[in-house]
Chains A and B, each alone.
Chain A
Amino acid sequence: MKLRAVREGVILIALAFLPAIGEGIYFRDKVSWQSRIPASELVTVDQARSWGDSAMWVDARPDEEFSRDHVPGAFSLNEDHWNELLAQFLPNLSRDKRVVVYCSAESCNAARDVAKRLRDEAQLKDVFVLQGGWEEWLKKSK
């Protein structure tokens, strides 16, 4: 009985590989396989700092974290108050500048999500996610 269940399970596990591989091949160019965010959309702290005034900093962390501390000159733009904060951000936006979005750390999602929304909703092209986020910024600032 148990052996039969195992045998059937192995067949199902093997069968599921076939369409999964096919789908993987179909999506091969649309997925970032090695990192959550494609390398082309990431920027290091050093690189972003070297852009100087041609970079606009966007803080995607919650309001209270932004109030505590943030990158000098950064705008707060998080998804909790998206419409309100976007309306405040857009008048300050210069289309020829690069936008650098950051959240708390390497593992947070907020910067990626905000960057995506800026590309999709505000039609911005040069939007980057800060590698390591605020945590990395603090480390480099010591």
Chain B
Amino acid sequence: MAEEEQMKFFWRIVDLIVGGIFIYAGTIKVLDPVRFGLDIDNYKTLPWFVSVRLAFYLPWLEIFCGLAVISRFLYRGGLSILTALIAVFIGVTIAAKLRGLDITCGCFGHASEHWSFPQHMAVDLSIFIALAALWFANELQRPAVQQ
């Protein structure tokens, strides 16, 4: 039983870290949506009028999903969206690299501006793995949580 509690505590910490990362990343982008629009546009995947609108929308989605993961309210929805977002992001980053684009993602503000491609990938894959782990942990804990 104590071990189960420890595991629950561990996963709550992971919830807080992952949710916190997305709230932080979303807040930075909310403060400068135009910069984020340019960052999206640099991937040369979408036309500008779509990129700029996404730049206003996606940060709020990140924040709301981050809050959902931390508060455990709409938890599965939050986890699903964040997993999908990070998967799409990893995909377009790899595609951009293959097309020879030199991308500055700015996902975490100035801190990430000079990250290399492997650094970006390492961070993104870590987040993706953490989100996937939360999914499985939630599935395993579900009967206990519902009691």
Contacts and interface: CB of A to CB of B under 8 A. Distances in A.
Interface of A: 1, 4-13, 15-17, 19-20, 23-24, 27, 30-36, 107, 109
Main secondary structure of the interface of A (DSSP, over half): helix
Contacts of B30: 23
A9 B52 CA distance: 23
B61 A16 contact: yes
Chain B residues touching A, range: 20 to 34
Give the one of A5, A30, A32, A107 with max B CB within 10 A.
A5
A20 B56 contact: yes
B18 interface: no
A35 B80 CA distance: 32
Given A5-B76, A16-B57, A32-B52, 19 more contacts: A4-B76, A6-B80, A7-B77, A8-B78, A9-B81, A12-B64, A12-B74, A15-B64, A16-B60, A16-B63, A20-B59, A20-B61, A23-B30, A23-B60, A24-B53, A24-B56, A27-B34, A27-B56, A34-B49
Contacts of A23: 30, 33, 56, 60
B88 to A, nearest CB: 14
Main secondary structure of the interface of B (DSSP, over half): helix
A123 B49 CA distance: 29
B64 A16 contact: yes
A8 B76 CA distance: 7
Give the one of A16, A24, A109 with max B CB within 10 A.
A16
9 contacts: A6-B77, A7-B77, A8-B77, A9-B76, A13-B81, A20-B59, A23-B30, A27-B33, A109-B38
Contacts of A16: 57, 60-61, 63-64
Given A23-B30, A109-B38, A9 B56 contact: no
A122 B103 CA distance: 27
B124 interface: no
Nearest to B73: A8
A15 B73 CA distance: 13
